[in-house]
Amino acid sequence: MSAGERRVLERLRDLVSIETPTGDAEGMAAAHALIDAWIAPLVGPGEPVEVDGVRHLRWAGGPAPSVLLLGHLDTVWPRGTAAERPFRLDGDRITGPGVFDMKAGIVVMAEALARIARPEEVAILLTSDEETGSTTSRALIEQEAVRCGAVLVLEPSLDGAVKTARRGGSIYRVEVHGRAAHAGLEPERGRNALTELAHQVLALPALADARLGTTVSPTVARAGTVTNAIPDHAELRIDVRAWSLAELERVHRAMLALPAHTPEVELVLHGGINRPPMEPHAARELLAVARSVGAGLGQPELVDVAVGGASDGNFTAAVGAATLDGLGPNGGGAHAVDEWVSLASTLERIELIAGTLDALAAAQAG
């Protein structure tokens, strides 16, 4: 194993070993310090940007950066997971919490920067709340995307394919307000919020449109406190995905007009459209550049794919920035206990990203 390969493995091990569940300020600060130690010698120290108590990390890339490298540090794994499933290399397969989504992509960023001619002209943004909808980082992401005009998103690939289209998504929470009563003595005096919630769970999927790829999925439900009381409050969370903004807006109008099935029960809607769809035209030019670079390196042709999941690339494409997503290495099991990433693919992606960054810088220089 070469010195470069050992460094990649060590960096990935160190980053995976720092647990960064969304909202864990201590873990995020430790990860920021680690990554800044990698990148600061190349472009100077990163700038912490705090929004509503959540800290993100940015390198500006000068007044006119050629491209934005975008990624997120937060994972879905709670503290203690790394002790249960520590970083491990088995042949070409690397495992550990967050290794695929998306700590390998962040190591690729840092390694690629070390190999290019003008790293100081590359902007970088690492956010801390992507897994929960990027509520504090969205405006920052959009601002940096507009400033740079081109964005490479180091989210995981899909079996090695980059992502040129993503469904948009909406997130809703429906509160159900009924009336409590004793379930044994006088249940008829109550207005059962749980029964109403059950009606909504069964009715909401009818808002989907399979022909257009629109899904409406009840995902989390809560109701009741004790067995012998008619519940007066319930909550339901709903995930909506669609390939077009028009479909998200159609479902949103329907959500605003949700009827209650139970007399004297009130529904209160929270949430709305979270991420607009990422449409293929946003990736066209960057995909051509990356394919040309890959061919020059002798790598297999870069395949592109449309996927149902959303990312921060949805935001950058929606504000008009050229966006190529899924540039992280090959692997699998995102958000699953068998999460893994390929070492060979990680090394390959480093070369691809470095070459693409150099090509974009040269094109901007004229």
pLDDT in tens, 222-249: 999 999 999 999 999 999 999 999 999 9
Longest dimension (CA), the chain: 82
Please answer whether residues 205 and 216 qualify as being in contact, where contact means their C-beta atoms are separated by less than 8 angstroms: yes
What is the pLDDT at residue 1? 76
- Which band of pLDDT confidence, cut at 50, 70 and 90, is reported for residue 4? confident
Q: Give backbone dihedrals phi and psi of 22, rounded to 5 degrees, phi first.
A: -55, 130
Q: What pLDDT digit, counting tens, does each position of 243-290 carry?
A: 999 999 999 999 999 999 999 999 999 999 999 999 999 999 999 999
Complete edge-to-edge strand list for the sheet that includes strand 150-153: 47-51, 54-59, 122-127, 67-72, 150-153, 322-324
Q: What pLDDT digit, counting tens, does each position of 315-349 carry?
A: 999 999 999 999 999 999 999 999 999 999 999 99
Q: What pLDDT digit, counting tens, does each position of 23-36 carry?
A: 999 999 999 999 99
Q: What pLDDT digit, counting tens, does each position of 142-157 carry?
A: 999 999 999 999 999 9
The average pLDDT across 174-191 equals 96
Beta strands per DSSP E along 24-182? 47-51, 54-59, 67-72, 88-90, 93-95, 122-127, 150-153, 162-166, 168-177, 181-182
Q: Number of helices (H) and strands (E), helices first, in the chain? A: 10, 18
Entry pTM: 0.88
What is the pLDDT at residue 185? 94
Q: What pLDDT digit, counting tens, does each position of 52-90 carry?
A: 999 999 999 999 998 999 999 999 999 999 999 999 999
Q: What pLDDT digit, counting tens, does each position of 102-119 carry?
A: 999 999 999 999 999 999
Give the Cα separation of 145 and 323 in Å (integer).
9
Q: Which residues are bridge partners to 161 per DSSP?
A: 158
Q: Which helix (H) or strand (E) holds 286?
A: helix 284-296
Q: Which residues are bridge partners to 90 per DSSP?
A: 93
Phi-psi region of 204 (alpha: psi -120 to 50; beta: other; left: phi over 0): alpha
Residue 99 has what DSSP assignment? I
Please answer whether residues 352 and 290 qualify as being in contact, where contact means their C-beta atoms are separated by less than 8 angstroms: yes
Please answer whether residues 321 and 276 qualify as being in contact, where contact means their C-beta atoms are separated by less than 8 angstroms: no
- Which band of pLDDT confidence, cut at 50, 70 and 90, is reported for residue 8? very high
What is the pLDDT at residue 309? 87
Q: Which helix (H) or strand (E) holds 141?
A: helix 138-148
Half-sphere exposure in the Cβ direction for 208 (13 Å, CA): 19
Which amino acid belongs to residue 128?
Answer: S
Residue 101 has pLDDT above 90, yes or no: yes
Domains of the chain, CATH where assigned: 3-167+277-365 (3.40.630.10), 168-275 (3.30.70.360)
Q: Give backbone dihedrals phi and psi of 310, rounded to 5 degrees, phi first.
A: -105, 160
